Amino acid sequence: MRITQTTLQKMVENNEKFTVLTCYDAIFATMLENAGIDVLLVGDSLGNVLHGESTTLGVTLDNMIYHTRCVARGSSKAFIMADMPFGSYQVSPEQAFENASKILAAGAHMVKIEGGQIMADTIRFLTQRGIPVCAHIGLTPQSIHQLGGYKLQGDSEKSAKQLLDDAKILEKAGAGLLVMEVVPAKLAKKITHTLSIPTIGIGAGIHCSAQVLVLHDMLGLYPGKKPRFIKDFMASAKNIQEAVTNYVTAVKTGQFPSEEHEF
Ligand code: KIV
């Protein structure tokens, strides 16, 4: 049976963590869900890992539709979430609806959009019209030039309060899930305990309802210096299947992320 947003919500209510990995093609979709991954995220990180770009800004709507279709063809069990790329949703709620509907038509069950309370009207517009939305706060890679680099967010009292306020407003606007990227574990814990919707952490510590990593990163395919929050699950596995299964077990049993991966 297909995992739905309701399944994820129930898992969290039963204190069961769920697992997310990015996925960009059919063969990995089948493999990841057979290894126990609950959510496949067609991330715009494909701009980095597949296209070799240094940012996600060049990823197009057509790229996202194409990769979502590939993932959907290989998947029969997982919940499929897909990023809305930069420039495809920021202009207006109407623009977001027009583009999100194409991503859903390609096979996604939910779209993910980056940004804080400025995105509340758009989230309300989409969810009231049948498009489930995951919000994404903290380190939002599409704002990289504004953030001034890939660095910790919410590390001052003021910015932590801003993120907590954002999270509450986005939940109220209708977001069904919330990704928190590279924020202090203590703040992610507070946000997770404040919201009723599941939170998904990447570099956000152990207390989130779920964890996500970029597939290539957790398979050790990271060029250059590995950021603190990534664990290479391939290092101790004999094949990819085993690495993914070990990730699933580590997340579900609360062994990943450990202190060495958090801020
Ligand atoms: O695009 C992506 O891979 C993401 C995750 C890092 C959360 O948004």
pLDDT digits 0-9 by tens, 31-40: 999 999 999 9
Please give the positions annotated as active site: 181
Judge contact between 207 and 17, C-beta under 8 A.
no
Q: What is the pLDDT of residues 75-130, one digit of tens each?
A: 999 999 999 999 999 999 999 999 999 999 999 999 999 999 999 999 999 999 99
Q: 30-33 long-range CB contacts below 8 Å, 24 or more apart?
A: 30/74, 30/75, 31/240, 31/241, 31/244, 32/78, 32/215, 32/244, 33/75, 33/76, 33/77, 33/78
In this predicted structure, what is the pLDDT of residue 262? 96
Residue nearest to atom 8 of ligand 1 (CA): 43
Query: Could you tell me the residue ranges of all domains in the chain?
Result: 5-261
On the question of pLDDT at 30 being above 90, the answer is: yes
* CA–CA gap between residue 105 and residue 57 (Å, rounded): 23
Mean pLDDT of the chain: 98
Q: Are strands 177-181 and 199-202 parallel, antiparallel or unpaired?
A: parallel
Instruction: Write down the pLDDT at residue 223.
Output: 85
Q: Measuring from each residue's beta carbon to the nearest atom of ligand 1, which residues come in under 6 Å?
A: 22, 41, 43-45, 83, 179, 181, 202, 212, 214
- Residue 54 reports pLDDT greater than 90: yes
Q: pLDDT of 212-261, one tens digit each?
A: 999 999 999 988 889 999 999 999 999 999 999 999 999 999 999 999 99
Q: Is the confidence at residue 150, as pLDDT, over 90? A: yes
Q: pLDDT (tens digit, 9 = 90+) per residue, 133-143? A: 999 999 999 99
Taking only the tens place, the pLDDT of each residue in 180-191 is: 999 999 999 999
Please answer whether residues 71 and 90 qualify as being in contact, where contact means their C-beta atoms are separated by less than 8 angstroms.
no
Tokens of 59: 């990823």
Q: Distance, CA 136 to ligand 1 centroid (Å)? A: 9
For the cut 90, the answer to whether the pLDDT of residue 7 exceeds it is yes
CATH for 5-261, among 3.10.560.10, 3.40.630.40, 3.40.50.620, 3.20.20.60?
3.20.20.60
As a whole number of angstroms, the distance between CA 147 and CA 112 comes to 19
pLDDT of residue 83: 99
- Ligand 1 atom with the shortest distance to the CA of 179: 7
Please determine, for residue 65, whether its predicted confidence score (pLDDT) is greater than 90: yes
Q: Which atom of ligand 1 is nearest to the CA of 112?
A: 8
Name which residue sits closest to atom 4 of ligand 1, judged by CA.
43
CA–CA separation, 134 vs 237, rounded Å? 32
- The C-alpha atoms of residue 7 and residue 9 are separated, in whole angstroms, by 6
Token representation of residue 50? 């597949």
